[in-house]
Amino acid sequence: MNSPIVQSTHGVTLAGGGPFSARDLKLALARAPLVVAADSGADRLLRFGVAPQAVIGDMDSISAAARAEIPLERQYLVPEQATTDFDKALRSIDAPLILALGFAGARLDHGLAAFSTLVARADRGCILIGPQDLAFAAPPRLTLTVAPGEPVSLFPMSQVTGRSAGLEWPIEGISFAPDGMIGTSNRAVARRVVLEFDRRGMLVILPRRRLDAAIRALREAR
């Protein structure tokens, strides 16, 4: 396995080329202060006055102006076309937490590809932050602190089964699949929600206000 491009004992904010706001960036940087861009995510960062510590990707969408502004030693070309820039960046980062912005944007195909990558790179502990929600790949066991009545949505990216405590609709005995039973719009009935899964493949989707709860849960799971 190749050595990671970015190594950090702190969290990493990973910026993609899709929409995100200055508020989104401030939210992420407060928890993950090292900044990395996936290809044209560098352009969005520079618009907010933030220079990435590294730019990773096939460099087919970053602007010439951004490449001229960012030192060459911070630009890491990964030329293969079989994977997305999100995947290229995730597999190149070794950090306890990655907060991803600009990957759940306007294009549906990009959003679906990002969700697929979250599951494929579940070991990276990445949380994708969207306009209203956040999503991450569920580890084998997860304990969340939420408020009763809050949504705890589950979306399978492959066939997966599990168990739960603290959900309005328990999941035990259900065979989830992307083309079959899904678990969106479930709700918490207790402050403590426990989820267990038999294999990798489930996405957990929470309100953005539960970002810190998601970070704590993933850290405990790791």
Residues of the chain with CATH 3.40.50.10240: 6-131, 141-221
Residue 80 has pLDDT above 90, yes or no: no
- Residue 126 pairs in a beta bridge with 98
Chain segment 109-140, per-residue pLDDT in tens: 888 999 999 999 999 999 999 999 999 999 99
Give me the DSSP letters along 148-208: TT-B-EEEESS-B-EEEESBSS--TT--B-TTSB-BTT-BBSSSEEEEEESSS-EEEEEEG
Say which CATH superfamily domain 141-221 falls into: Thiamin pyrophosphokinase, catalytic domain (3.40.50.10240)
- Where do the H-state alpha helices sit in 14-107? 22-29, 41-47, 64-69, 85-91
Residue 149 has pLDDT above 60, yes or no: yes
Say which CATH superfamily domain 6-131 falls into: Thiamin pyrophosphokinase, catalytic domain (3.40.50.10240)
Residue 105 has pLDDT above 80, yes or no: no
Residue 106 has pLDDT above 80, yes or no: no
For residues 177 and 103, give the distance between their C-alpha atoms in angstroms, rounded to a whole number. 23
